[in-house]
Amino acid sequence: MYKWKKQFNLETKILFQNKFFLVLPLLFAVWMGFTLYQTPYFKPDHIIVNTNDFHKLGHTMTLGIAMLIGILMIRRDIQSPTFEWIHSWPRSNGMAIITKFLAGFLYLSTFTVMMSIVYVGIASNVYGLSFQQYAAYFFHDILMYQWSYGVTLALAMFLAVTISHRIVYLIGFCAWMFGTYFIDIFIISRLNLPFLTTFHLNQYTLDTMLNNEVWGIHIFQKEIWTSRLFVASFAVMLLTVMIMLLNLKRATMHKTRSIILGMMSIVLVGLLFVPYGMYWADKFSTYQVVEADAFVPDDNYWNSGESSYQEIPIDSYDIHVLREDDDTLQVEATLTISQDGMPQGEELFFRLNPLLHLQEVSINGEKISYEREGSLITLSVMSDEIVGTDNSLHNIRFQYEGKIDMWAAPTNQQDNIFSFVNGDYVYLNGAIGWYPIPGNMPLFILNFGNDVRPYNSTFSYSYQQSLSQYAEFQLTLSNFTNNVYATIEAVDRNEREQVFYSKNTPGVTLVGGNLVEKEGEGQLSAVVNPFSKQDAYQIIEDISIATNFVENYFAIDNVLKAPVLILPNDGLGFWQYEAQYIDETYMIPAFRMYQYYRDDQSHPHSYRLMRDVIYNSLFKEFAPFKGTTFSRESYASILENGLFYLFLVDELNLTHDEFREAMYHVNTSYHFYMDDEDFYFSDSFYEGMSHEEVEEYQEGERRNKEAGRLLIETLEAGKIDKVREFLVELYENYVIPQKGMEEYYPIITPEEWEMEWNQVMADE
């Protein structure tokens, strides 16, 4: 033991007395502190996201130091011809390797200590968080640092032992780059091989859900720890094989023992890879079930985007979900359908997630047989065999069970998880069919690039509802140990149950995890991660102002009965770039929340958010057309823009200069309308058009610009009441009647616009 202690002291003394290495941890701490303290305006003011972003670069740079130290420690004496005489010392190769590794690991731990000090200081003093709030993420980062230092140092020492030439420095540099950025960008991401993440030296990949502050590390605990066990065994294997190779070069009585230990370490690595491999095998088997169920479109489908599917209007849902301790869901869903809503002379189809095992189906209390293929359930009874009067209501009850952990193969270099239930952490998207969905429309589609995604998000920019029509929902959750939030109203919560209800909704999505509910001054509240600062309260206030404006002038029930959900949506299987009205509330991407207020720092409100709220309140039944500046077929975009202009002048009482400044920041259409140039589009836009078509297009553009400019000038002239009357009448006469007609946007012809304008303005 004395010899081990003296050898360890020697190795640490050489390292810690080197001024170059001694100053590096301090420089690292300064770099990290400056990066986290001075958050750029384009990044969220968020400790978890920002520290993870720093680790992707900062920690990876320190792995280069680990690689250099590992090579230097071996080449200093063991691989140096000048010091061959030290092999005659009464010092075993095992002692030399292990003490060098421990000394190097101790030095590299100073970077972890510096990271910890800066992390706690920034989180507590700058963000005002309690240690309990960020402890899980803090300790996760500490372990990530230590694990990656251990395996990188062992790899560097192994390279130095096996390669005696100075080229080992170049090979070490290549191993450092290959084991971090190259394997991440060119292998894991581009080749969609996420299971190779365990071979990434620090596993801070560029696109990962681990920095998801709501679910991240919590739902990946099994993957994290099976990977850590494998990585630890791999590092031990490298050290053991190093000792074996050195013993084979030196006369020693321990050759046989070192060979046996080396072989055993290799076997151990293989054994500990098995749990990690089985974890990923389960993931891929789940994905294959979903992929086999996905609709595979042909070219005609992509060109038309239309197909005919059975639709069954549902009057109400009554769903009871019991979560078992192993996260198995026991579900009983009762669907009420009126007799006159039954499709005549057809089989009845329903969709249910293929991961859920259907146990029983009954109609009006009588069990019936059914056929199931993937997610498609075909009831063995024809619709006209269910006898009843026109006013009769029929109850179709489904009993099913199963686990929901829907990982999907990565798309756009990022993992996708459509839905999951993992202890306290829940995300159940209504679009994936965790409750029966009427009709035979597919749940999933094999999209461009052969990636699977929920069917009804294919032709939209964001999340969409699960049902084609609205229905009454009663949802009861049992044995969920943490609060679960929904896109419909929570009417009761107690230790045993959580009950949600909606009179009229197109679906329901559930979320639960590292979330808190923040109450506003009124009835509105917001569900956010606990790391968000004051932004949630500002969002509540701005949404309230915008919804009050809509309710004052339009006959729309726009009261938000469920809390606003501010969630990180990275990797959740759908794209969403702005606030969107979902079921009975707004869902706002977390990164967008910060942009709303970072971009508009000079204003007390976020005009972008308010515009999104107004648009979703009045036009949510149509496909997204917000931001469109010009259409020959319809002036709907001028109406949408005009309502926002009216809101700024009428509700927020902006002055002329404030109004123009707001337009400069958030509304490009304003510049289109007020631009003196005749032609907004470049000449290349008109390529392929005949002369007559170009003239017709340009004439339509002029009329569109003139209509938008006249509206703005009338507002600026102070005729607010007239503009309000005109826009309200236009909306009531032309937009409301077109809701439910499946138009991309409401059609308001130039002639209809001018007629309404002249009628309102003629009353002056």
Q: Read off the pLDDT of residues 379-399 as tens digits, 9 standing for 90 and up.
A: 877 656 666 555 678 899 999
Q: Is the pLDDT of residue 23 over 80?
A: yes
- Distance between CA atoms of residues 349 and 367, nearest Å: 16
The 10s digit of each residue's pLDDT in 625-641 is 555 545 566 788 888 88
Confidence of residue 461 (pLDDT cuts 50, 70, 90): very low
Give the pLDDT band (50/70/90) at residue 205. Answer: confident
Question: Sorting pLDDT into bands at 50, 70 and 90, what band is 462?
Answer: very low
Q: Which residues, including other chains, have CB under 8 Å from residue 218's CB and lie 6 or more apart?
A: 136, 422, 423, 424, 425, 513, 514
Cα end-to-end span (Å), the chain: 101
Helix (H) or strand (E) holding 421: strand 414-422
**pLDDT (tens digit, 9 = 90+) per residue, 41-51?**
666 667 888 89
Quick one: DSSP state of residue 178? I
Q: Would you state the pLDDT for residue 414?
A: 61
pLDDT above 70 (res 670): no
Average model confidence (pLDDT) across the chain? 83
Q: Provide the 3-class DSSP secondary structure of residue 614.
A: helix
* 3 state DSSP class of 587: strand
Residue 483: pLDDT band by 50, 70, 90 thresholds? very high
Query: Does the pLDDT at position 649 exceed 70?
Result: yes
What pLDDT, on the 0 to 100 scale, is given for residue 700? 75
CB within 8 Å of 427: residues ≥ 6 apart = 215, 417, 419, 420, 509, 510, 511, 512, 513, 572
Instruction: State percent of the chain over pLDDT 90.
Output: 36
Instruction: State residue 89's pLDDT score.
Output: 61
Structure confidence at residue 458 as a pLDDT band (50, 70, 90): very low
Q: Which residue has the higher pLDDT, 218 or 570?
A: 218
Q: How do beta strands 564-567 and 585-589 pair?
A: parallel
CATH number for the domain formed by residue range(s) 310-505: 2.60.40.1730
Which residues does 498 contact at the CB level (< 8 Å), separation at least 6?
Answer: 476, 477, 480, 483, 484, 490, 492
Asked if residues 508 and 430 have their Cβ atoms less than 8 Å apart, the reply is yes
The predicted model gives 185-193 an average pLDDT of: 86
Provide the 8-state DSSP code for 206. S
Asked if residue 535 has pLDDT above 60, the reply is yes
**Best CA proximity match to 290, nearest among 456, 430, 418, 425:** 418
pLDDT above 70 covers what percent of the chain?
81
Q: Does the structure show a pLDDT above 60 at 21? A: yes
Does pLDDT of 363 surpass 80? Answer: yes
The pLDDT of residue 70 is above 90? yes
Q: DSSP label at 390? A: T
pLDDT (0 to 100) of residue 214: 87
Separation of alpha carbons 239 and 246, rounded Å: 11
Q: What is the DSSP letter of 328?
A: P
**438's tokens:** 């009427």
Among 403, 420, 421, 415, CA closest to 451: 415
Taking 90 as the threshold, does the pLDDT of residue 158 lie above it? yes
Q: Which residue has the tokens 């509330």?
A: 585
pLDDT at 471 over 50: yes
242 φψ region: left (φ > 0), alpha (ψ -120 to 50), beta (else): alpha
262 to 105, 273, 308: CA distances (angstroms): 22, 17, 64
pLDDT tens digits, residue range 82-109?
Answer: 556 565 566 678 888 999 999 999 999 9
Domain ranges of the chain: 2-211+220-289, 310-505, 621-762
pTM here is 0.87
Burial class (CB in 10 A: 0-12, 13-18, 19+), 527: buried
Residue 607: the pLDDT is 81
